[in-house]
Chain A
Amino acid sequence: MIKTKELPKEVTVNSCNLCSPLGASIAFKGIKNCMAILHGSQGCATYIRRYMIAHFREPVDIASSSFTEDTAVFGGGEKLKNGIDNIISQYNPEVIGIATSCLSETIGDDVSRYIQEYQKERTAMNLPEIILTSTPSYNGNHETGFFKTQRALVEHLCSQQEKTEQFTAFINIISPEDIRQLKEIFQSFNYSYILMPDFSDTLDGGSWKEFNKIPPGGTSVDEISRVSSSKTNIEFSICINSKISPGDYLFERFNIPNIQLPIPIGIKATDQLMTALEEITNTTIPINLENQRRRLIDAYSDAHKYIFGKKVAIIGHGDLVYSLASFISEVGMIPLICSTGGTHEKLIPLLTQIAEEYHYPVPQICLDYDHDDIESELEGNDIDLIIGSSKAYKMAKKLKKPLIRIGFPIHDRFGAAAKLTIGYQGTRSLLNEIVNLFIQIQQDENPVGYTYQ
């Protein structure tokens, strides 16, 4: 059953969406020596910083052009230029990422022109690269901002080049630990790659010996400029709109094939990645990954009885919902409700296909839903588990259902940045978490209190 938000509820109650500049901010955090500035009111930058800090537990410096009433009337050019000057003098970055806001977009600020003027006015200075991404929060959500920013980066930095034996991977909003896992997989294939935006160190760094104005790590400008020399691109999104897809842009401009893959959670989605990598690198899957795959299948077998037939509600951004639905179907669980704040109609055939493959009824696919709508949906259904962000906790508590936290934000648990869910290894760790949850429920409810399973 396919559901879209039912009118007449015009108001949004406990949204599933965050705004587009937040996605842009995460993406810019994955660029080496980059400072982001949000062109709007001071609050946009501060709220987004606070939200990211609470999730990643890392310093997140994001500047603001700090609009005032005058700025809103006369335009934000001077504020933006002054802001860039101050960022350069304080942080000396190689890249400045500018993301617009609903305010600057609504007053019609011509930010491209401001940047051109700025570059002309400061010719004597050795200026950083300045990348602009248009992210009004009335358009799309954090996923939109995340991909738009990746696209803006390659649009700005890439030019026609000779192709080399190398591929580029455009990631989705996954955890820093997931990024590290992805890099390990790529390294196992022993083939040259560029992963962007790599926020595995910048948003999950170690202790510091010296003070770092900008946390170390990230994809460098040089790497991004070499993206157009890649033979192939992998884009970890199957819900993405072509207009904001960096891979589709590179295909149109440089004729680089773009392989769109699901976030690799579960055997099938990870297999798809392996097949793609085998084709790109013209090798077969390395032994370590094959062993991981076998161990995962073995874990599936060991786990099957604990979780068969468990009914699950999944809440997340479109790509995450698809991959989680695919994974839990593989282990015999049933995604009863698949819900997202986005409007990805592509999810409908994809989730229908999974249901057909595993012989269960097509889930309720809830698009453009808020947490309040989802809660109403759940009230009428007998589910065993909710998978969602921290923001699903309130309904989980009310409905007395267990919650596995994946996605963004995870504000009520420790270790969000270290959460591993992708690849064969990540899937296994997620499987362990789910199985142990059900074992614990069983154990707690059982008066015998078995000390074995």
Chain B
Amino acid sequence: MQGILKERVKQVFKNGTDHFDMSCDTPSTSGSVSQRACVFCGSRVVLYPIADAVHLVHGPIGCASYTWDIRGALSSGPELHRYSFSTDLKEKEVIFGGEKKLEESIVYLAKRFKPKAVFVYSTCIIGIIGDDVERVCKQATENIGIQIIPVHSEGFKGTKKDGYKAACSAIFRLIGTGKGTKPKKPSINILGEFNLAGESWIIKNYYKQMGVHIQSVMTGDSRIEAISNAHLADLNVVQCSGSMLSLAKMMEEKYNIPYTHVSYFGIEDTAAALYEVAKHFGNPEIIKNTKELVTKEISQLTAILNEYKIKLQGKKAAVYVGGAFKAFSLVKALARIGMEVVIAGSQTGNKDDYNQLPNMCRPGTIIVDDSNPLELSRFVQERDADLFVGGVKERPLAMKLGLGFCDHNHERKIPLAGFEGMKNFAQEIYISVMSPVWKFHEFRQKKQIGGQND
């Protein structure tokens, strides 16, 4: 494809035209303006919702400031995750080492906030200045009596996905340390669900209705104790596969817990997820409950979604999200309301996930890994999209190009998961695509597509 940086040629494909062989899981190209963040970001995202732990960022101030209370992960109780804790290293510590400051910070925070655990995130310079964070954490764990867990999240040591792995390793240290007993009911851990806008609560409610016990959610609205007893569950149900599949694999190996891979975005995928769990247990009561639940929810939704479908039929969407697995769900969910996906991309999709996209998308759809603003802007113009589904960094692009926009990132305040979420998703898209404001937009005037508020 023309105009793509040479390093990125193997990361951009036109469906049906190019031979599809996605080269992903690679570091971002320098100078490309990747939409990805770093290893630290990956770790921070995964661990962030753990609400009764202190999240201490060890390094100069930036990393802690930019991640202070910026995500919509809700808690039903403590809210320690909404603080920004930093060792705020200055030049002096960069020269003489930051271990002492780290030790003192941990002691202070543990005493004042009484967390159930402390996660210590290493940022870029920690290894370079030679701080032995493992030693400090081990010592502090012994002295204080709660788990002080190092997270090896130096920004440059890989991609955001390596940060997910570092977070999974940190969680894995906790699992199995709990003194709980095995639940009597069939039980699951929900992995890769972060309770954005209360989504975990919606999903948990479905499982409750089905008769399935939730042993833990990792990490939406989660607590250290629940995580420490996660090894007692019968099944791991993994949503955001990019972020937490590695934990599921580690738990399978150590605790013999099988895992399944699901999505709660869109009605088809939500229904499939619930049926999959029901089938796993094979309990007739659970299967019956699940059928009832799904039938009821879908029958309530169908009429509403059909209304939206009439209005949105034929509109074209660009999807650029964190992981490719979520992109599939969005392709299906958008199709359900009459829309066609013309660009499908992700920051950190893996090869297996990407390989499923060509079959799901129409010919001509652009499939892209680790894209950048210039590429995305060009693709939406070439493919004449009406709507962009992405995160905060994509929002101004959509606005400048006169496109509707749906925020499907971690900052969202409206739940988009589950059946209820599908309704919100359709409504948000409807509002944005149909708004009359695009009538005034010079970019859209050229295309003669004015919004209609009917």
- Residues of A at the B interface (CB closer than 8 Å) are 8-15, 17-19, 21-22, 37, 40-51, 53-54, 57-69, 71-72, 79-80, 82-87, 89-91, 101-103, 106-107, 136-139, 141, 205, 207-209, 211-213, 391, 394
Counted as pairs of residues, one from A and one from B, with CB atoms less than 8 Å apart, the total is 232
- Chain B residue numbers with a CB within 8 Å of A54 are 392
- Shortest Cβ distance from residue A184 to the other chain B in the assembled complex, whole angstroms: 26
A71 and B38 contact, Cβ closer than 8 Å, known pairs A63-B32, A211-B377 = no
For B, the interface residue count at a CB cutoff of 8 angstroms equals: 77
Asked if B374 and A11 sit within 8 Å, CB to CB, the answer is: no
Asked if B62 and A47 sit within 8 Å, CB to CB, the answer is: yes
- Chain B residue numbers with a CB within 8 Å of A8 are 104, 108
Bound Cα distance A21, B155 (Å):
16
Could you tell me which residues of chain B, from 288 to 312, have a CB within 8 Å of some CB in chain A? none
Asked if A138 and B28 sit within 8 Å, CB to CB, the answer is: no
- Chain B residue numbers with a CB within 8 Å of A62 are 33
- Shortest Cβ distance from residue B390 to the other chain A in the assembled complex, whole angstroms: 12
Residue B279 lies at the interface, judged by CB distance under 8 Å to chain A: no
Asked if B31 and A207 sit within 8 Å, CB to CB, the answer is: no
Other than the given A42-B155, A207-B402, 20 more pairs (CB < 8 A) read A8-B104, A8-B108, A13-B83, A42-B36, A43-B39, A49-B393, A54-B392, A57-B395, A59-B396, A63-B32, A63-B33, A65-B30, A86-B29, A90-B32, A101-B124, A137-B61, A138-B89, A139-B90, A141-B61, A394-B82
- Shortest Cβ distance from residue A51 to the other chain B in the assembled complex, whole angstroms: 6
Residue B68 lies at the interface, judged by CB distance under 8 Å to chain A: yes
Asked if B89 and A43 sit within 8 Å, CB to CB, the answer is: no
Residue B56 lies at the interface, judged by CB distance under 8 Å to chain A: yes
Residue B443 lies at the interface, judged by CB distance under 8 Å to chain A: yes
Residue B59 lies at the interface, judged by CB distance under 8 Å to chain A: yes
A43 and B41 contact, Cβ closer than 8 Å, known pairs A11-B88, A50-B393 = yes
Asked if A67 and B85 sit within 8 Å, CB to CB, the answer is: no
- Name A12's contact: one of B64, B66, B82 (CB within 8 Å): B64
Bound Cα distance A12, B62 (Å):
12
Residue B414 lies at the interface, judged by CB distance under 8 Å to chain A: no
When C-beta atoms are compared, the residue in chain A nearest to B444 turns out to be: A207
- Name A209's contact: one of B29, B41, B443 (CB within 8 Å): B443
Bound Cα distance A102, B156 (Å):
12
- Chain A residue numbers with a CB within 8 Å of B401 are 208, 211
Asked if B61 and A53 sit within 8 Å, CB to CB, the answer is: no
- Shortest Cβ distance from residue B108 to the other chain A in the assembled complex, whole angstroms: 6
Residue B442 lies at the interface, judged by CB distance under 8 Å to chain A: yes
- Name B27's contact: one of A15, A66, A91, A139 (CB within 8 Å): A66
Asked if A15 and B40 sit within 8 Å, CB to CB, the answer is: no
Asked if B374 and A91 sit within 8 Å, CB to CB, the answer is: yes
- Name B88's contact: one of A12, A61, A101, A207 (CB within 8 Å): A12
- Chain B residue numbers with a CB within 8 Å of A60 are 396
Cβ contacts B16-46/A at 8 Å (1 or 0 each): 0000000000011111111111111100000
Bound Cα distance A41, B62 (Å):
12
Asked if A102 and B59 sit within 8 Å, CB to CB, the answer is: yes
Asked if A391 and B68 sit within 8 Å, CB to CB, the answer is: yes
11 contacts between A and B (CB under 8 A): A11-B56, A15-B68, A15-B84, A17-B61, A47-B67, A54-B392, A61-B374, A66-B34, A102-B59, A102-B124, A394-B69
Residue B360 lies at the interface, judged by CB distance under 8 Å to chain A: no
Asked if A86 and B5 sit within 8 Å, CB to CB, the answer is: yes
Residue B441 lies at the interface, judged by CB distance under 8 Å to chain A: yes
Asked if B33 and A45 sit within 8 Å, CB to CB, the answer is: yes
Bound Cα distance A379, B69 (Å):
22
A14 and B66 contact, Cβ closer than 8 Å, known pairs A54-B392, A101-B124, A138-B93 = no
Bound Cα distance A211, B440 (Å):
16
Bound Cα distance A82, B397 (Å):
25
Asked if B83 and A14 sit within 8 Å, CB to CB, the answer is: yes
Asked if A58 and B396 sit within 8 Å, CB to CB, the answer is: yes
- Shortest Cβ distance from residue A102 to the other chain B in the assembled complex, whole angstroms: 5
- Which residue of A12, A54, A57, A89 has the most chain B CB atoms within 10 A of its CB atom? A12
Residue B257 lies at the interface, judged by CB distance under 8 Å to chain A: no
Asked if A11 and B396 sit within 8 Å, CB to CB, the answer is: no
- Shortest Cβ distance from residue A424 to the other chain B in the assembled complex, whole angstroms: 32
- Chain B residue numbers with a CB within 8 Å of A21 are 62
Which 3 pairs of residues, A with B, have the shortest CB-CB distance? A43-B38, A86-B31, A19-B62
Residue B399 lies at the interface, judged by CB distance under 8 Å to chain A: yes
Asked if B156 and A213 sit within 8 Å, CB to CB, the answer is: no
- Chain A residue numbers with a CB within 8 Å of B396 are 53, 57-60
- Shortest Cβ distance from residue A201 to the other chain B in the assembled complex, whole angstroms: 13
Could you tell me which residues of chain B, from 115 to 130, have a CB within 8 Å of some CB in chain A? 123-125, 128-129
Asked if A37 and B31 sit within 8 Å, CB to CB, the answer is: yes
- Chain A residue numbers with a CB within 8 Å of B352 are none
Bound Cα distance A282, B123 (Å):
54
Residue B139 lies at the interface, judged by CB distance under 8 Å to chain A: no
Asked if A106 and B128 sit within 8 Å, CB to CB, the answer is: yes
Residue B60 lies at the interface, judged by CB distance under 8 Å to chain A: yes
Asked if A48 and B108 sit within 8 Å, CB to CB, the answer is: no
Bound Cα distance A148, B445 (Å):
43
Bound Cα distance A451, B29 (Å):
61
A65 and B31 contact, Cβ closer than 8 Å, known pairs A89-B5, A106-B128, A107-B128 = yes
Asked if A85 and B62 sit within 8 Å, CB to CB, the answer is: no
A18 and B62 contact, Cβ closer than 8 Å, known pairs A46-B35, A64-B28 = yes
- Shortest Cβ distance from residue A332 to the other chain B in the assembled complex, whole angstroms: 35
Bound Cα distance A136, B61 (Å):
10
- Chain A residue numbers with a CB within 8 Å of B7 are 86
- Shortest Cβ distance from residue B80 to the other chain A in the assembled complex, whole angstroms: 11
Bound Cα distance A217, B119 (Å):
44
A46 and B41 contact, Cβ closer than 8 Å, known pairs A10-B101, A12-B61, A66-B29 = yes
Asked if A72 and B105 sit within 8 Å, CB to CB, the answer is: no
A46 and B400 contact, Cβ closer than 8 Å, known pairs A12-B87, A137-B60 = no
- Which residue of B124, B128, B397 has the most chain A CB atoms within 10 A of its CB atom? B124
Bound Cα distance A12, B35 (Å):
28
- Which residue of A22, A67, A141 has the most chain B CB atoms within 10 A of its CB atom? A67
- Chain A residue numbers with a CB within 8 Å of B109 are 11
When C-beta atoms are compared, the residue in chain B nearest to A210 turns out to be: B443
Residue B426 lies at the interface, judged by CB distance under 8 Å to chain A: no
- Chain B residue numbers with a CB within 8 Å of A136 are 60, 91, 94
Bound Cα distance A71, B32 (Å):
17
- Which residue of B66, B70, B94, B397 has the most chain A CB atoms within 10 A of its CB atom? B66
Cβ contacts B364-386/A at 8 Å (1 or 0 each): 00000000111001100100000
Asked if A40 and B124 sit within 8 Å, CB to CB, the answer is: yes
- Chain A residue numbers with a CB within 8 Å of B62 are 18-19, 21-22, 44, 47-48, 102, 137
When C-beta atoms are compared, the residue in chain A nearest to B82 turns out to be: A394
Bound Cα distance A208, B442 (Å):
6
- Chain A residue numbers with a CB within 8 Å of B124 are 40-41, 67, 72, 101-103, 106
Residue B157 lies at the interface, judged by CB distance under 8 Å to chain A: yes
Asked if A43 and B393 sit within 8 Å, CB to CB, the answer is: no
- Name B91's contact: one of A13, A86, A139 (CB within 8 Å): A139
Asked if A11 and B108 sit within 8 Å, CB to CB, the answer is: yes
Residue B241 lies at the interface, judged by CB distance under 8 Å to chain A: no
- Chain A residue numbers with a CB within 8 Å of B29 are 66, 82, 86
Residue B141 lies at the interface, judged by CB distance under 8 Å to chain A: no
- Name A83's contact: one of B30, B35, B90, B129 (CB within 8 Å): B30
Asked if A43 and B40 sit within 8 Å, CB to CB, the answer is: yes
Bound Cα distance A215, B354 (Å):
33
Asked if A106 and B94 sit within 8 Å, CB to CB, the answer is: yes
Asked if B90 and A138 sit within 8 Å, CB to CB, the answer is: yes
Asked if B393 and A46 sit within 8 Å, CB to CB, the answer is: yes
A13 and B84 contact, Cβ closer than 8 Å, known pairs A22-B62, A46-B38 = yes
